[in-house]
């Protein structure tokens, strides 16, 4: 292969000859003039080779980088041919020119698209010397195109699933009452395979309809093979799982249980903080400051010696805080149990302490625990959590911050699948897109 053909191959061009190469070393730019081969130009109506040339049309196309030269431009002379058989003239077909974005080659579009799977459109625009809006439009087109080709892996393990929501945006609440908030949050529900560590599907909302929509991506046979399903204490989710995954054991996730316990403790802390401030108790006021709430509910093994001494002093000074801290710690120990019998015994003691303490936030939380006890016991037996889902949620939040927030619902759903699921070139073979835009419906 000679040097000219090597360049043609690296740029993903077909049916052209190189006429001239201009190099601007200081600007890291290469301009390559190519002309379409007459022998490769055919009439699209009759399929015969063109009999003559009407004219050569010059087009300027963006091409993929060549080594250190990140700015590569193609001066493409495309033939307008004459077909005497059809008595017509038309532009010869050039498969490497992108059908949706005529200012770039297919190779350039695919290189840019794969970069946008990992970084922002603006960053890719800077790297490839173009404008951000063009890259955004290309990214939207490519995700929609790949969505038609996306298939879940045949060997995907769905014996364990979990579902969790992530915040999408807050919108103005136009029908709010007098004491309602000005904005209301919108969520995206993600269906996740913990063993694969991937988002299988997602839908806008945080209700039964959203979870049902995500489960539609799985076949009835796959739904029957689900053995354990981890969720938070959201009743609409639990109702859908009982209906759609009849063989699945529902496990309440530990993260959300502990979160609810911490919320109950924080209500006690706020009440005691107000009381200490009224009594001008400087020590308790300082120890019960909002920024210390995470230290107060930390487990003993995670505290430093100094923090432990300060908390012991607080326990001696405030009985309610001491009791609330014990309840949080003992709840952790109950969840640490490895069999249901030991868990029930620990939970019975926990209930008794709450009844004796009469701390309203924990009394309310205990009722919630009692309502979902059977599902919590499933967690004790299976050990399944939404830890993978929470990790993916952090990745999604980072994605949202990188984009300075999303307003396009479909774009956000697809981006989640692209970064955290199967809507990317690692799972969809898009090698053919380097050379031509093929029909995605197959």
Residue 354 and residue 261 in one domain: yes
Residue 259 and residue 362 in one domain: yes
133 Cα distance to chain centroid = 22
Kindly tell me if the per-residue pLDDT of 441 is higher than 60.
no
Residue 269 and residue 370 in one domain: yes
Residue 12 and residue 121 in one domain: yes
Residue 200 and residue 272 in one domain: no
CB 170 within 8 A of CB 381: no
CB 162 within 8 A of CB 383: no
CA distance 150 to 204: 19
Kindly tell me if the per-residue pLDDT of 261 is higher than 80.
yes
Q: What is the pLDDT of residue 172?
A: 78
Q: What is the pLDDT of residue 295?
A: 77
* Token output for 318: 């405030």
CB atoms within 10 A of CB 193: 20
DSSP codes, 294-331: HHHTS-GGGS-HHHHHHHHHHHHH-HHHHHHHHHHHHH
CA distance 191 to 386: 11
Tell me how many degrees the CA angle 223-226-229 measures, rounded to the nearest 5.
115
Of the candidate ranges 22-26, 43-47, 194-198, 229-233, the one whose mean pLDDT is the lowest: 43-47
187 phi, psi to nearest 5 deg:
-125, 160
Kindly tell me if the per-residue pLDDT of 298 is higher than 80.
no
Domain assignment of residue 322, yes or no: yes
Using 50, 70 and 90 to split pLDDT, how confident is the model at 198?
very high
Instruction: Give the mean model confidence (pLDDT) for residues 319-336.
Output: 91
Domain assignment of residue 72, yes or no: yes
Q: How many residues does the chain have?
A: 442
Residue 22 and residue 139 in one domain: yes
Of the candidate ranges 204-218, 384-398, 407-421, the one whose mean pLDDT is the lowest: 384-398
Using 50, 70 and 90 to split pLDDT, how confident is the model at 314?
confident
102 Cα distance to chain centroid = 30
pLDDT digits (tens, 9 = 90+) for 74-127: 999 998 888 888 888 888 889 999 999 999 999 999 999 999 999 999 999 999
Kindly tell me if the per-residue pLDDT of 139 is higher than 70.
yes
Residue 126 and residue 215 in one domain: no
* Token output for 161: 């699933």
Q: What is the DSSP letter of 291?
A: G
Of the candidate ranges 138-147, 172-181, 347-356, the one whose mean pLDDT is the lowest: 172-181
Kindly tell me if the per-residue pLDDT of 159 is higher than 60.
yes
Q: Is 171 exposed, middle or buried (0-12, 13-18, 19+ CB in 10 A)?
A: exposed
Residue 243 and residue 114 in one domain: no
Domain assignment of residue 152, yes or no: no
Residue 8 and residue 128 in one domain: yes
Domain assignment of residue 320, yes or no: yes
Kindly tell me if the per-residue pLDDT of 179 is higher than 70.
no
Q: Report how many domains make up the chain.
A: 3
Kindly tell me if the per-residue pLDDT of 188 is higher than 90.
yes
Domain assignment of residue 400, yes or no: no
Domain assignment of residue 438, yes or no: no
19 phi, psi to nearest 5 deg:
-105, -35
* Token output for 154: 């045949």
H/E run at residue 347:
helix 340-357
Give the chain's end-to-end CA distance (angstroms, integer). Answer: 34
Kindly tell me if the per-residue pLDDT of 301 is higher than 60.
yes
Tell me how many degrees the CA angle 350-356-362 measures, rounded to the nearest 5.
55
Using 50, 70 and 90 to split pLDDT, how confident is the model at 174?
confident
pTM reported for the whole predicted model: 0.85
CA distance 333 to 136: 50
Instruction: Give the mean model confidence (pLDDT) for residues 137-149.
Output: 94
Tell me which residue range forms the domain holding 217: 160-172+182-247+409-420
Residue 106 and residue 28 in one domain: yes
| CA-closest candidate to residue 94, choices 165, 149, 162, 44 | 44
Residue 124 and residue 38 in one domain: yes
Residue 116 and residue 191 in one domain: no
Kindly tell me if the per-residue pLDDT of 440 is higher than 70.
no
Q: What is the DSSP letter of 92?
A: P
| CA-closest candidate to residue 442, choices 150, 149, 217, 146 | 149
Domain assignment of residue 140, yes or no: yes
CA distance 268 to 270: 6
pLDDT digits (tens, 9 = 90+) for 49-59: 888 888 999 99
Sheet holding 228-231, edge to edge: 198-204, 183-193, 160-172, 228-231, 249-252
Domain assignment of residue 167, yes or no: yes
* Token output for 199: 């988002």
Q: What is the pLDDT of residue 145?
A: 94
């Amino acid at each position: 292969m000679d040097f000219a053909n090597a360049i043609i191959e690296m740029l993903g061009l077909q049916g052209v000859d190189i006429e001239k190469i201009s190099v601007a070393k200081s600007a890291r730019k290469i301009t390559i003039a190519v002309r379409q081969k007459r022998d490769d130009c055919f009439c699209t109506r009759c399929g015969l080779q063109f009999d003559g040339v009407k004219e050569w049309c010059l087009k300027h196309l963006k091409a993929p980088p060549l080594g250190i030269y990140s700015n590569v431009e193609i001066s493409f002379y495309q033939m307008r041919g004459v077909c005497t058989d059809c008595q017509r003239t038309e532009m010869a077909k050039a498969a490497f020119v992108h059908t949706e974005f005529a200012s770039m080659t297919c190779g350039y579009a695919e290189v840019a698209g794969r970069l946008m799977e990992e970084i922002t459109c603006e960053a890719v625009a800077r790297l490839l010397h173009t404008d951000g809006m063009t890259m955004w439009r290309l990214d939207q087109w490519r995700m929609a195109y790949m969505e038609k080709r996306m298939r879940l892996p045949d060997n995907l393990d769905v014996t364990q699933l979990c579902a969790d929501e992530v915040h999408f945006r807050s919108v103005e609440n136009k029908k709010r009452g007098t004491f309602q908030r000005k904005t209301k949050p919108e969520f995206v529900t993600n269906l996740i395979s913990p063993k694969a560590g991937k988002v299988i599907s997602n839908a806008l909302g945080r209700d039964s309809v959203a979870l049902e929509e995500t489960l539609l991506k799985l076949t009835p046979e796959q739904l029957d093979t689900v053995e354990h399903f981890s969720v938070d204490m959201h009743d609409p989710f639990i109702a859908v799982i009982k209906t759609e995954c009849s063989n699945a054991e529902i496990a309440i996730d530990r993260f959300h249980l502990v979160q609810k316990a911490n919320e109950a403790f924080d209500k006690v802390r706020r009440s005691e903080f107000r009381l200490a401030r009224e009594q001008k108790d400087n020590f308790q006021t300082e120890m019960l400051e909002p920024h210390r709430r995470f230290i107060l509910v930390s487990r003993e093994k995670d505290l430093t010696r100094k923090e432990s001494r300060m908390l012991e002093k607080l326990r001696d000074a405030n009985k309610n805080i001491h009791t609330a801290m014990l309840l949080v710690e003992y709840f952790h120990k109950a969840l640490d149990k490895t069999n249901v019998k030991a868990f029930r015994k620990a939970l019975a003691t926990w209930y008794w302490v709450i009844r004796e303490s009469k701390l309203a936030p924990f009394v309310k939380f205990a009722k919630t625990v009692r309502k979902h006890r059977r599902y919590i016991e499933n967690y004790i037996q299976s050990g399944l959590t939404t830890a993978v889902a929470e990790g993916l949620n952090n990745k999604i939040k980072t994605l949202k911050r990188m984009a300075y927030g999303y307003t396009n619902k479909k774009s956000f759903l697809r981006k989640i699948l692209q970064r955290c699921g199967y809507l990317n070139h690692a799972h969809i073979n898009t090698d053919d897109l380097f050379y031509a835009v093929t029909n995605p419906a197959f």
